[in-house]
Amino acid sequence: MHIAIRHRQSDIFCRVKKMRIPMARLSRKIDDDGNTLLHHVADMTDYGGGKQPNPALQLQEELKWFESVEKLIPSHYDMHHNKNNEPAREFFERTHDNLLKEAQNWLKRTSESCSVIAVLIATVAFTAAYTVPGGSNDKTGLPILLHDPFFLVFTVMDVLSLVSSLTSVVMFISVLTSPFRLQDFHHSLPRKLTLAFTFLFLSVAVTMLAFSATVLLIIHMKKRWTTTLVYAVAFVPVTVFALLQFPLYVAFTGTLRYSLSIAKRVLPWNFVHHLFRSYSNRAPSFQRNE
């Protein structure tokens, strides 16, 4: 078990974990160097980079691995020192210091680059709000194409583009201003980065929809197939962006599930649902009393 944990063999770990009696005995074992199972999690001698594509996700994977092993060992083993007089957590922080620096640099570069793109999209969306397609009436100041159905599409998409891009900028700034501590890479920073990428993708998508609506307003295409073609072409960059970022979203799936579980507990509709259920359970007794 010590060797399997040091080599990050999660399949062997999960298989033995289901065997309760061997796991209870193995979790308390200490080797000749005074290392517990947690000390072997921190050992980077046989670490090959993990399965994740970037340093931030690799560090998150290591933190999750540490947490999963920590749940199995006795609680007082956290304070156990090996022959080098180091508890497991201090040993983990020391051995993962280089990976932490790589993760910090990667996260800063990514957030800076993406925030520039988000600001550019916000600038375009803000400018488009004052230069509506077709121009404005000189007497009333209202847009000439105000009653065209595609004008409503343009307006809604432009507002969504501005809101989502600015929200993305705020999230990327939140990442850049974080303290970048080791534990922040467990949930906090990956969650912020996931939300920032989500809003950035949404801003790209609705910006292309606003562009398509503008083209249809100006050219006045009457045939249905030409309208479909314009929207299909407009989604080419959105599709390319989605395909390029898909591996990152797959890697952040665990963080996204964790965020959704918190949202379900926090949002008010959970309280309303429980209130409605309690009322429904009481209703039959009221009817019987009547």
pLDDT digits (tens, 9 = 90+) for 183-229: 999 888 988 888 888 898 888 888 888 887 777 776 665 556 666 67
Residue range 73-119, pLDDT digits in tens: 888 888 889 888 999 999 999 999 999 999 999 999 999 999 999 99
- Whether 138 and 239 map to the same domain: the answer is yes
- Whether 259 and 129 map to the same domain: the answer is yes
Query: In this structure, are residues 136 and 142 in contact, taking their beta carbons and an 8 Å threshold?
Result: yes
- In this prediction, residues 121-138 reach a mean pLDDT of 79
Residue range 54-77, pLDDT digits in tens: 888 889 989 999 998 888 888 888
- Residue 265, domain member (yes or no): yes
- Whether 250 and 129 map to the same domain: the answer is yes
- Say yes or no to pLDDT of 52 above 60: yes
- Whether 126 and 269 map to the same domain: the answer is yes
- Residue 167, domain member (yes or no): yes
Predicted pLDDT at 155: 86
Distances from the Cα of 81 to the Cα of 63, 77, 93, 94, 178, angstroms: 20, 9, 14, 14, 31
- Whether 11 and 67 map to the same domain: the answer is yes
3-state secondary structure of 246: helix
- Whether 44 and 176 map to the same domain: the answer is no
Percent with pLDDT over 90 in the chain? 23
- Residue 217, domain member (yes or no): yes
- Say yes or no to pLDDT of 13 above 80: yes
- Whether 190 and 53 map to the same domain: the answer is no
- Residue 286, domain member (yes or no): no
Q: Which of 41-50, 101-110, 233-242 has the highest mean pLDDT?
A: 101-110
Contacts of 200 (CB under 8 A, 6+ apart): 114, 117, 118, 121, 164, 165, 168
pLDDT bracket for residue 181 (50, 70, 90) = very high
Predicted pLDDT at 251: 59
Predicted pLDDT at 276: 46
- Whether 120 and 63 map to the same domain: the answer is no
Predicted pLDDT at 279: 42
- Whether 272 and 135 map to the same domain: the answer is yes
- Whether 121 and 242 map to the same domain: the answer is yes
Distance (Å, whole) CA 161 – CA 167: 10
- Say yes or no to pLDDT of 7 above 50: yes
- Residue 260, domain member (yes or no): yes
- Whether 73 and 132 map to the same domain: the answer is no
Helix intervals (H) in the chain: 2-6, 10-17, 20-26, 37-42, 55-70, 88-95, 97-130, 149-176, 188-219, 224-234, 236-251, 253-266, 268-289
The residue range of the domain holding 9 is: 1-86
Predicted pLDDT at 2: 86
- Residue 93, domain member (yes or no): no
Distance (Å, whole) CA 200 – CA 194: 10
- Say yes or no to pLDDT of 234 above 50: yes
- Residue 120, domain member (yes or no): yes
- Residue 2, domain member (yes or no): yes
Give the phi and the psi of residue 28 in degrees, each rounded to 5. Answer: -100, 0
Please state the domain count of the chain.
2
Domain boundary among 34, 69, 86: 86
Q: What is the dihedral of CA 74, 79, 82, 86, to 10 degrees?
A: 140
Query: In this structure, are residues 116 and 145 in contact, taking their beta carbons and an 8 Å threshold?
Result: no
pLDDT bracket for residue 169 (50, 70, 90) = very high
Q: Residue 286 corresponds to which amino acid? A: F
- Whether 76 and 130 map to the same domain: the answer is no
Nearest by Cα to 167 from 107, 122, 112 = 122
Distance (Å, whole) CA 237 – CA 260: 28
